[in-house]
Chains A and B, each alone.
Chain A
Amino acid sequence: MMAMVLDAASISELIAAIISLSVPMAFAALGEVISERAGVINLGTEGVMLVGAISAFYVSFFFGSNLVGVLLGAAGGALLGLVMAFISISLKQDQILSGLGIYFLGVGLSGFLYEASFGQVGSTIRITGLPQLPIPILSQIPVIGDSIFSQDIMEYLAFVTLILVIIVVGRTTFGLNIRAVGENPSAADTLGVSVTKIRYAAVIIGATLAGIGGAYLALSSHAFQAENITAGRGFIAVAMVYFGKWRPARAFFGTFLFGAAYLLGAFFQVVGSIIPYYFLLMVPYVLTLVVLVGIARGARPPSALGVPYKREGG
């Protein structure tokens, strides 16, 4: 039975599906890496993705433009990022609590916008009139391209973003400032680097990427579930940052592991298996728990992560 499935074409499809499922999380994880390297943990990423998703879905459905949808998703993310930054940096509120606020805000906002636009109530709905998927791009990419190289533009963009993030964090002045602010904000402060401004920027960029991830999620979904489209992916993305030890590439590819986990349910439903379908749906979440336990001992986060910065004295 397994042999039937594992021929070249299916593997190719499998890989394509995994990438497709992981990309939203990958965007969000990259964003969270930036935010956390600067010292701010944003648990509201899930809410931001939801806002990104509904924005893109809305625009795509009513106006047919995927690009504008993604841009709106990014803008929504940036806006939420601004709120998060304000509450956790300027108001110096507990970052966990502020992130939660953003999460609920995102859930409420996206749910409300969805119902306002589409007037449906309930949890699992399939709607007709899905937005169109971007056309796979087959540019000058070589032969083996059926899975990895025949993706839609957002998936390429994800890899491009990964490279950009690696460069920014490791080789730009901004990245230097981010790292300094996350490890020893006092050192940066005394050299004239504005801890506030850098953290604001990092949080907003992080949330913008999460918004883009959410937008892509809406655009690429094969089964659209109105209110729970993210299904915890935002939180998993945050867990991925831990998993990847705050390195962009590791966090990025970590999300692919989870994309595969989400796929298991659908895969085994087709193939048929002893394990009940719903148990397979649990896999990503249980896997996250297992991974977190495994990483717990060795993790060394940015030293100032989670701590609002207060300059001593006055």
Chain B
Amino acid sequence: MVWFKVTPRLEVSRRSILIITVLAYIVSPFVVLAVLAAAGRNPLVALDALYRGTIGTTAGFAESIVQGTPLMLLALGLAIAYRGKVWNIGAEGQQIFGAIMVTWFVLLFLKAPLPAYVMIPVALLFSLLGGALFAAIPAFMKSRLGINEVITTIMMTYVAVQALNWLVRGPFQDKTIPGSYPESPVFPPQTVLPIIVPNTSVTIGIIISVVLCFIGYYILFKTPLGYSIRAVGFNPSAAKTSGISVVRVVNSAMILSGALAGLGGGVYILGVTHSLLPEQASGIGYTAVVVSLLGNLHPLGVIFSSLFFGGLMSGMSSVERALQIPRTLSLLSQGIIIVLILIIQVLARYEIKRA
């Protein structure tokens, strides 16, 4: 049996990682085209559809952005938490809870909504707080009791999903429409996020997200908080010896990522669905984990990886329609791209030799 030896590469510059990542992004769609060709489909038609679905048409471009926006917020939070080795897997639950808090607030003012410039910021604030609160429980369980946060955040997500199920069929249900639909009343126009590109559904959500990514970058690399998060992530022992409160850092990282996830849920509900639906549990919290890794856990990298992913989803939809391929092939292609990029990132850092 042949054994392989895997060792970290000694000289890896940040620039080379960046270049390799960008190349991976560019190359991978072509790999998909090859897969499609192998499956007997016309790659040129696919390429055209891919192009149109991502940046070629306004509709496609818009769809990419709309898909990518909430991802960006969630992935940003995760990138920060993961830098501190706080493995928050519960972004899904946190974004659901953020949406729940938004719904609660909006429903309070359903009959007499305040003007948009009040409703929207407050609603988003609620989503932020909701996500933060929801993440606080696993945060304290980890920082004070040393309980593994992966398990706790996942458990919390299941709780959130059931809470969502209950609320849309119970207290938050729209009782004014005939029949019993699991959905909340439609939100008043004062809560709709303003659209910034006419004739599309691109809202200020994207601006908020990108701005927050830049803020996230500053926080992570230019403030004491970010410094302490990175220090604890790299070497908790040295950090503790030097006076850093690991408890405080873990709490901050977890709660911050929860807040951003909550905000992502809020942006989604105010920008896309305009009411609380079971579809709020879209699985975006799990996708965000992958997106944050694709972005190298860097706030600015997350901008690109989330837009890339949004484009991927939009583009593949377009390809699906153009080539009449089953959804499974489309999902497989997405999976291939992700795995490819991740493998390339790993290969950039490690070398594999025969032992």
Residue ranges of A at the interface with B (Cβ–Cβ < 8 Å):
43, 90-91, 94, 96-97, 99-100, 104, 107-108, 111-112, 115-116, 119, 121, 231-232, 235, 238-239, 276-279, 281-282, 284-286, 288-289, 292-293, 296-297
Q: Assuming A282-B163, A292-B141, is B150 touching A232 (CB within 8 A)?
A: no
Q: Assuming A232-B155, A278-B166, A293-B141, is B331 touching A96 (CB within 8 A)?
A: no
Q: Which of B87, B155, B326 contacts A96 (CB 8 A)?
A: B87
Taking CB atoms, residues of chain A closer than 8 Å to B141 are: 289, 292-293, 296
Nearest B-chain residue to A120, judged by Cβ: B327
Judge whether B327 and A121 touch: CB under 8 Å.
Answer: yes
**Cβ of B44 under 8 Å from chain A:** no
Of the A-B pairs whose beta carbons lie under 8 Å apart in the complex, a sample of 9, sorted by A's number, is A96-B150, A116-B332, A276-B170, A279-B162, A281-B165, A286-B159, A289-B155, A292-B147, A296-B145
Judge whether B158 and A285 touch: CB under 8 Å.
Answer: yes
Q: Assuming A97-B87, A115-B327, A239-B151, is B289 touching A285 (CB within 8 A)?
A: no
Taking CB atoms, residues of chain A closer than 8 Å to B155 are: 232, 235, 285-286, 288-289
Which range contains the number of B residues in contact with the other chain? 35 or more
Q: Which of A104, A284, A293 contacts B289 (CB 8 A)?
A: A104
Nearest A-chain residue to B332, judged by Cβ: A112
Taking CB atoms, residues of chain A closer than 8 Å to B217 are: none
Q: In whole angstroms, what is the CA distance A232 to B154 when docked?
A: 8
Judge whether B326 and A119 touch: CB under 8 Å.
Answer: yes
Q: Which of A119, A235, A286 contacts B328 (CB 8 A)?
A: A119
Taking CB atoms, residues of chain B closer than 8 Å to A94 are: 85
Taking CB atoms, residues of chain A closer than 8 Å to B326 are: 115-116, 119
Q: Assuming A100-B150, A235-B154, is B328 touching A282 (CB within 8 A)?
A: no
Residue ranges of B at the interface with A (Cβ–Cβ < 8 Å):
4, 6, 85, 87, 89, 137, 141, 145-148, 150-152, 154-156, 158-159, 162-163, 165-166, 169-170, 286, 289-290, 326-328, 331-332, 335, 350
Judge whether A296 and B327 touch: CB under 8 Å.
Answer: no
Q: Assuming A276-B170, A288-B151, is B162 touching A112 (CB within 8 A)?
A: no
Nearest A-chain residue to B87, judged by Cβ: A96
Taking CB atoms, residues of chain A closer than 8 Å to B154 are: 232, 235
Q: Which of A91, A107, A277 contacts B286 (CB 8 A)?
A: A107
Q: Which of A121, A238, A281 contacts B162 (CB 8 A)?
A: A281
Q: Which of A90, A97, A104 contacts B6 (CB 8 A)?
A: A90
- 10 closest A-B pairs by beta carbon, nearest first, are A278-B166, A296-B145, A285-B155, A116-B328, A285-B158, A278-B162, A115-B328, A282-B162, A278-B165, A281-B162
